[in-house]
Amino acid sequence: MSSDPNPEQERQLPKAAKKPLPLWAALAIALGLILLPGLVVGPLHAPFIVLWALCALALSFKSEFAQVRKQRLRNLAIYLVAGVLTLIIYGHRIDAAQTRGETLVSAIKAYRAENKTYPASLEVLVPKYIDRIPVAAYGRYYYHLNPAKDGPFFFFVTIPPFGRRGFCFDEVAECVGNLGGIAAKDGWYDFD
């Protein structure tokens, strides 16, 4: 008799599961998911994290992961919370940028009321109409005076590099957005 196991018996034995990351490593990854992409590119990665975590969750219930299931589930919960926190941080940043943008819009309108023309740049507003030009969600506010459209073009970036939210002034002939047609006058709209 040989002591070598039967190849069929080897296939039937469950494989040893790879040990999941320790708690500190899972928390470090979660922090990286929140800070790096959340502060640089917005919430674009959050759906991928959720999809990956749901697939990993289903795989966690395979018999080969029985010994490490609790650790895997703990790590998946940490990653899901990181994805949700990224969306919360993103929402807060966009709301804050729009609030600061409202301050700029008010200053632009005050300049227009006093001078009967729109300012040539945002820098003209400082210090008489506004203390300083605030920072937008991902960089700066963009402003361009376009005499052909009878008004300014004002926006900030919401999701680098594509998402932009602009303000449609009353005097502008037409504010067209790629996401929903023509924007309402004297209001914010997403144009891509």
Q: pLDDT by residue (tens digit) across 99-150?
A: 999 999 999 999 999 998 889 999 999 999 999 999 998 888 999 887 666 6
Q: Which residue in the block uniquely carries the two structure tokens 């969750």?
A: 57
Q: In the predicted model, is pLDDT for residue 1 greater than 60?
A: no
Helices (H), the chain: 7-12, 23-40, 46-60, 69-115
In a domain? residue 47: no
Which two structure tokens, joined as six digits, stand for 181? 């047609």
- Report the C-alpha gap between 184 and 172 in whole angstroms: 11
Phi-psi category of residue 160: left, alpha or beta, with phi > 0 → left and psi -120 to 50 → alpha: beta
Structural domain tally of the chain?
A: 1
Q: Per the domain annotation, does 162 fall within a domain?
A: yes
Residue 175 lies in a domain: yes
Nearest Cα to Cα of residue 186 among 178, 175, 142 = 175
Confidence of residue 98 (pLDDT cuts 50, 70, 90): very high
Domain assignment present for 96: no
- Global pTM? 0.70
Is 70 exceeded by the pLDDT of residue 71?
yes
pLDDT at 103: 94
What is the strand order of the sheet 163-168 is part of? 141-146, 151-159, 163-168, 187-190
Q: Answer yes or no: is 22 within a domain.
A: no
Task: Confirm if 96 and 137 have CB atoms less than 8 A apart.
Answer: yes
Q: Confirm whether 179 is domain-assigned.
A: yes
* Percent of the chain whose predicted confidence (pLDDT) is above 70: 74
In-domain check, residue 46: no
Q: Is the peptide bond before 14 cis (omega within 30 degrees of 0)?
A: no
Least confident of 84-98, 104-118, 147-161: 147-161
Domain region containing 173: 118-190
Mean pLDDT (whole number) for 147-159:
78
Query: Has residue 13 got a pLDDT over 50?
Result: no
pLDDT of the residue at 55: 74
Is 23 inside any structural domain? no
Instruction: Band the pLDDT of 67: cuts 50, 70, 90.
Output: confident
pLDDT tens per residue across span 166-188: 888 877 766 766 555 556 678 88
pLDDT in tens, 35-58: 765 556 566 666 777 777 777 777
The residue ranking higher by pLDDT, 30 or 36, is: 30
